[in-house]
Amino acid sequence: MSGICERRVVVVTGAGRGLGRAHALAFAAEGARVVVNDLGVGLDGTPAADSPAGRIVHEIRAAGGEAVAHGGDIATSEGAASLVATALETYGRLDTLVNNAGFLRDRMLVNLGEDDWDAVVRVHLKGHFLTLKHSAAHWRAEAKAGRPPVARVVNTSSGAGLLGSVGQGNYSAAKAGIVALTLVAAAELARYGVQVNAIAPAARTRMTERTFAATMAAPENGFDTMAPGNVSPLVVWLGSAASEGVTGRVFEAEGGRITVMEGWRPGPTLDKAARWSAGEAGEAVRKLLTETTVPGVVYGA
């Protein structure tokens, strides 16, 4: 195989199903050697009867590509370190990290248990942090040894992390944290030749099948706008050397649409040059709000 990721070594977490599977297959189709990570758990994070990572590896190899499976828990330091080690021991290098692993435990806030909060934040946010940390340590060492990498990281946020989503306080908070982590990593790792971006995808997967149930009718004109594979071309490009100069960005991807998301930045302001009274502060806020753009609606509101 040949393509824009020819001979690059790409790690994809949560690659056994849905978006991760689509990403792994798309990278392989563009010539990448893929480390397919999947713990093989159910939608709620509990152990499943089988692990799909091996099946995806077989699928890639059957199409003429190169891939190896990794079944470690990337939300532990040991699992994240072994993921990086698998790439290095198998292929001798690591070029791209795609953080995709995650699951849901949806509850309204008053019903959301502490265990459900911890579990979702652990896999989504901590899982992103640990794989990024161990990959970045390798790339920093390479840069300091005079072998500057052309490294890429693609993190997975969500519209829930950008706007919020009713019944998903844990998931929304974790996905918002991933955006902030992306911005920090892009700034810190640029000196080592590492670019870090995030996507907020919308696609039909195990995690979103209830959310997008209304869109699951037969596709019109042969184009299934909610197919996971629609998101993967953007991820592959961001994970390739062709994306040189693009870092610290968040992209929304759905169907045939790509949007550059614009985050927090200063809007209208008033400066009294002295301390406000509570009443004055309230009046100032009311005035400022008349000059702002109305925020996007929280999903499910």
Averaged pLDDT for residues 166-192: 98
Averaged pLDDT for residues 126-149: 98
Beta-strand pair 257-261/250-254: antiparallel
Q: What is the pLDDT of residue 204?
A: 79
CATH code at 9-261: 3.40.50.720
Q: Which residues are paired to 260 by β-bridges? A: 251
Confidence of residue 223 (pLDDT cuts 50, 70, 90): confident
Residue 128 has pLDDT above 80, yes or no: yes
Q: What is the pLDDT of residue 48?
A: 56
Residue 186 has pLDDT above 80, yes or no: yes
Active site residue ranges: 158, 171, 175
Q: What is the pLDDT of residue 210?
A: 53
pLDDT more than 70, % of the chain: 91
- Distances in Å between the alpha carbon of 176 and those of 125, 210, 247? 9, 21, 17
Confidence of residue 206 (pLDDT cuts 50, 70, 90): low
How far is it, in rounded angstroms, from Cα 74 to Cα 129?
9
Which is nearest to 97 in space by CA: 115, 109, 84, 86? Answer: 84
Residue-wise pLDDT tens digits, 2-57? 699 999 999 999 999 999 999 999 999 999 999 999 987 655 555 554 678 999 99
Helix residue spans in the chain (DSSP H): 18-29, 53-62, 77-91, 114-121, 127-144, 159-163, 169-189, 232-238, 278-289
